[in-house]
Amino acid sequence: MDFIAWLRSQNVPFQSQKHAEVYTAQEVAAVMKVSGYDLAKVVVLDVDGSSVLAILPAPLRVDFSAARSALGARKVSLASETTVEKLFPGCQLGAMPPFGNLWGIKTYVDESLATHHRIVFNAGSHIETVSMAYEDFERLARPVRTRLAQASHA
């Protein structure tokens, strides 16, 4: 799938930008010169045997207890790399856009990200990002808002 072409077809304002190849969400935030809290990190979760996307600000991590409660699940864990590669053909591992609906995957967004006017996210590769209004992201991705994240502890 050509994600950028799909975005253009949706008639929403956005900016795409190529940058140096980086791999972690915090590295993307640094190279894009944005707060990590404005960068939407995509985490694929295995929820009772089904895959879902969790979208959260880059500096935060999944709060598995909160996710179990919010999703009404018995078991929530990170999906394997093999699973992620199968779910997102055409995307580089770890650079999936936060639009699970395009791949038939239920998408949840941490409520803290919804307070941001603009968000930045990977566009399917480690060298391109997209910036757009949060409200446009929410309208296009149709995520469920809930509490999924907590502060990372080093």
Q: Measured between alpha carbons, how far is residue 79 from residues 53, 67, 86 in Å?
A: 10, 14, 11
Report all structural domains of the chain as residue ranges with CATH numbers, in order of start: 3-151 (3.90.960.10)
pLDDT digits (tens, 9 = 90+) for 53-74: 999 999 999 999 999 999 999 9
pLDDT digits (tens, 9 = 90+) for 86-102: 999 989 999 999 999 99
Q: Which residues is 91 bridged to in the sheet?
A: none
The C-alpha atoms of residue 95 and residue 147 are separated, in whole angstroms, by: 22
pLDDT score at 153 = 57
The C-alpha atoms of residue 12 and residue 96 are separated, in whole angstroms, by: 19
94 near 23, Cβ under 8 Å?
A: yes
User: What region, left, alpha or beta, does residue 11 occupy, with left being phi > 0 and alpha being psi -120 to 50 degrees?
Assistant: left
Backbone CA torsion sign across 122, 123, 129, 132: negative
- Model confidence, pTM: 0.92
pLDDT digits (tens, 9 = 90+) for 10-53: 999 999 999 999 998 888 888 988 998 999 999 999 999 999 99
